[in-house]
């Protein structure tokens, strides 16, 4: 999949919502989707950083994006339904969602992790992706070919010590993917999958592996063929899969 060569107009005419769009993989994916013709709805907490991504897309000649400053940690059904309604009103359609926003504290033993931390980890990394997808489901089902991508994590797929609530939340996305895909079936125009980026040079990776030389791991742009493949029509038959971008 990393060798996938998308055509330049792969996402032309599509509207794609990206959470965590202000940095890391979310930012890189937003730029890649726009380069391939998509109108990107940028969602993150930090409005200033969202504006920077907006400016990058416009400067590169991509379709004018939309910005949605929004804190997924404070999300509820009402505000998410309002968000989906705003998308429908201003952008008229929705062809895909990439869930790239995340909450992380530190690598610590379970005995030192608090209830408050677990609640935040579950809320941002698992509950919000479910609830946002559910709110957007009517719009997604109207699209002729729609894709939802949850962002998994290596230690959610292969649990290890000290990853605690973060790994548990990310492993929950894999179960959510399989259940939702089973409910949708293979004939539905909407597909839902989880993509596990693996080791990649991001701010999160520098926090969890401070001694790791960033030159020894993939850069965010190296992974974009995986994201473009799963978001575009070439993955139309891929449903309910847990995909490791770097097995």
Q: What CATH number is associated with residue 169?
A: 3.40.50.720
In angstroms, the first-to-last Cα distance of the chain is 11
Domain that holds residue 98: 15-244
List, in sequence order, the alpha helices (H) in the chain.
24-35, 47-59, 77-91, 115-122, 128-142, 154-157, 164-184, 203-208, 224-231
Whether residue 10 is contained in a domain is answered as no
Identify the pLDDT of residue 120. Answer: 97
5 in any annotated domain: no
Q: Please give the pLDDT value at position 1.
A: 75
Do the domain assignments include residue 6? no
**What is the dihedral angle through the alpha carbons of 181, 183, 185, 189, rounded to the nearest 10 degrees?**
-80
Q: Please report the pLDDT score of residue 228 as a whole number.
A: 98
Structural domain contains residue 2? no
Answer yes or no: is 194 within a domain: yes
pLDDT of residue 213: 61
Asked whether residue 4 is assigned to any structural domain, the reply reads no
How many domains in the chain? 1
Give the active site residues.
166
Chunked into runs of 10 residues, the chain (247 residues) has average pLDDT values of 90 98 95 98 96 98 97 96 96 97 94 97 97 98 97 92 95 97 88 91 57 68 94 96 89
In a domain, 134, yes or no: yes
Residue 234 lies in a domain: yes
């Amino acid at each position: 999949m990393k060798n996938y060569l998308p055509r330049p107009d792969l996402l032309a005419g599509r509207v794609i919502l990206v959470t965590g769009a202000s940095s890391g993989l979310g930012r890189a994916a937003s730029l890649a989707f726009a380069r391939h013709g998509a109108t990107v709805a940028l969602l993150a907490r930090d409005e200033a950083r969202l504006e920077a991504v907006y400016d990058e897309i416009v400067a590169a000649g991509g379709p004018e994006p939309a910005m949605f400053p929004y804190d997924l940690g404070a999300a509820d059904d009402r505000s998410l339904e309002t968000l989906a309604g705003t998308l429908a009103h201003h952008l008229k359609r929705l062809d895909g969602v990439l869930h790239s926003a995340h909450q992380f504290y530190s690598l610590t033993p379970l005995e030192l992790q608090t209830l408050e931390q677990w609640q935040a980890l579950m809320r941002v990394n698992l509950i919000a992706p479910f609830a946002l997808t559910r709110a957007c489901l009517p719009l997604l089902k109207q699209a002729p070919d729609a894709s939802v991508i949850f962002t998994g994590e290596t230690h959610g797929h292969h649990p290890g010590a000290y990853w605690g609530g973060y790994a548990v939340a990310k492993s929950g996305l894999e179960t959510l993917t399989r259940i939702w895909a089973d409910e949708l079936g293979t004939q539905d125009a909407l597909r839902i999958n989880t993509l596990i980026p693996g080791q990649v040079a991001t701010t999160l990776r520098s926090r969890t592996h401070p001694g790791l030389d960033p030159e020894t791991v993939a850069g965010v742009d190296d992974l974009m063929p995986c994201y473009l493949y799963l978001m575009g029509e070439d993955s139309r038959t891929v449903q309910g899969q847990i995909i490791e971008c770097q097995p």
